[in-house]
Structure 1
Amino acid sequence: MATVSHVILKQQKKDDGTYNVKIRITHNRKSSYIATTHYVDSSSLDKNYQLKKRNNFIYDEVMLDVLRIRKMFSGIGNSINNYTAKELAKKAEDLLAGRNLDQINFFDYGYKVIRDFKSSGKPSYENMEVGLRRLEAFIGSRELNFSDITSNLLRRFEEWLRQQPSLVSKKKEVTISSAGVKLYIGNIQRIFNIAKDELNDEDRGIIRIANNPFSKYRLPKYNAPSKYALSREQIRAITECRFDINCMGKLIARDVFIMSFLLVGMNTADLYHLLPESHGRFNYERRKTSAKRADKAFFSVRIEPELLPYMERYKDLLGDRAFNFFTRYASHDQFNHKLNSHIKAVGNMIGVPEINMYFARRSWATIARNECGVSMDDIAFCLNHKSGHNITDVYVARDWEIVDRANRKVIDYVFGTNVK
């Protein structure tokens, strides 16, 4: 906790024999000083260079200022740890000078923006709310004014986010990626900018929010994906996207995209018609090419642990198919059309507005080749492409372990515990 006291710096004696009374702010073992308007000579000081208390109106005035500063610091609460001593001294100086007295609570304003967005049907309010709740958890309360948000606080918030469990995995050691950090803090920046646009009037000289912490703080960057494939950060960011329960179409599109990726890019028609698992695997004939191939484009993929929560969420309770999508959509064409429509909202949130469901398949193949070292022949096998070796295909039995090993490599790369 920061401490506030008055002090005389005896090495700063003026030529006329007086000393300026300073207020010292000490925080995290560092100190910063505020010069007051008061000057005293040695007659007002004791032998330890402290202000005499008796019959000393300057002592009374300085102590009133000290008490005002202490009260302000107490109101900041736990978030005071996000400040440096110098930043606290600046806040105290502004208080004593009568600046920034019109304090606006960031959470009160932020939740008002979210309510307005929700009532007007703007879907982006869900992620704004998740970002705001993450910030609230970091601060430990809703006691946060706009003037409290500094570049230092944002950097500390980023450090804290990177230590939090990701929504991608139930494993605590899997933490939020750079894309997730950008998603959360980007929404905080959006609320901040909305407030400045509404509350500041530069033409009339009315500036209720004077600070701009984002001028010094930069959102994290991550590697851009190829045109038709996503990076692992963007795939992880998809799992971080949050929607209201009333936006079921977007929720399903988000989940099906990840399910497709976890199943080596299985397309939506095959997911729609997929039969229940058999001995920990999904076996099916790829509908797109089954009629054109002697092997009916048969394919088998092992069910990985990351898929299990989705299997439970969309389980067909009658057991006729693996998933209940056929009870929600009249045909696989309608299923595919709705998914591609709703996945656009997800794409906008992660900065890829041109996304469609086929990106899951392309992303799996791109990551397998470029990041996991899977050979092009094995990738073709994993994607169930015709090999071109017609005679050889007749005699060589397919080794589905090739698919399983490659898929495990890709999943570990994207969702593994060492992802930063």
Structure 2
Amino acid sequence: MASSIKITLRNKPNKDGLFPIAIRITKNRKSTFIYTGHYIDKKHWDSKKTNVRKSHPNSVRLNNLIASKLAEAHKTLIDLQANDNVISSKQIKNQISNPLSSKSFNEIAKAYIEELKTNNKLTRMASDQVRINHVIEFSKSNDLQFREIDEEFLRRFMSFLKVKKSNSQRSIVNALVVIRTLYNRAIKMGVIERKFYPFGRDKIQIKYPETEKIGLSAREVEAIEMLTDLTTQEQHTRNVWLFSFYLAGMRVADVLKIRWSDVHDERLHYRMNKNEKILSLKLPKKIFPILAVYEVDKKRPHDFIFPEMKKADLKNLQDVLAKTKTATKKFNKYLVRLAEKAEINKKLTMHIARHTFGNISGDNIPIQTLQRLYRHSSITTTINYQANFIHKDFDEALDKVVNFGN
């Protein structure tokens, strides 16, 4: 059945006895109404011509408004029918009341954040929400339109992040990536035309800056292993850091979620938090003395090995994320002290355990093996990551040229 859109005066007066002018949308004999926000006395309404009589003092303005609203509604209906013949009166109403072209950056961003939350990507959700907030703060508007996000806007935004927010180049790039993601979504939804896309050749190009990944040497790890006279917190921090390093730089979020039931037959059987991959690793001998320290507190096979997650509300992923962040911050504070005691001049954090494994492994382990140890989905990721720690060829080439006198 064909859809129809008509203007009407609804028979539901307000407290002043005036009646609302509305657009009636009918599809499959089901009607829904969009109210214009204007009310008049019945005597000023011409039901045959469906317009406001000249007797009303603002008849010309109201009739112009009605004509405009009807034209917009009919245009929207035609667009909807061209793309999808199976639509309801409610769908038509929603699109007329809230057309895609009027959807703001903030509206698209909220839907994106909600999607991340639904998919339990809470770490990314938290970081991307901060980046979105920066865009809203810079624009000084909760109704920022995608048409306003052009090359000039983005260049000024980049300066804002660098000067006002003291963001690193990497952080600035991450913010641009979020904007690009939302812009692409807006294009697919029909909110903005692709011709306005501000990214790409001769426009705003997103290039990740090269970052130097520095890990500890084997000797520096030994220095940490041999430390004595540590406080209880320093000992605990060292245990967690070494546990991560011994298992190929396992991420701290995964380390803290390991349970005693994940360990059997001298292997670790575990599902990773980041990509849900299942891993099975033989436990190095150095890990068993660490496990022995915490086994005295073991009450049930399903208990966590480390204490940080024992009071977490495991049904609340945001609480788990918050406790992981708190624990990481605590560990990093004590790792600074451990570095000082071990006379290590390099930066020492939980994440450096991963860099350290890469640095010590160098080019001595087949790249396919490293891919499995790092739990990378793509071997290209492993190659790019490990390239930060392979210097042998460059060092030998430099020696051959410089040491010509030997």
Tell me if TM exceeds 0.5. no
Range into which the TM-score falls when normalised by the shorter chain: 0.3 to 0.5
What TM-score do the two structures reach when normalised by structure 1? Answer: 0.34
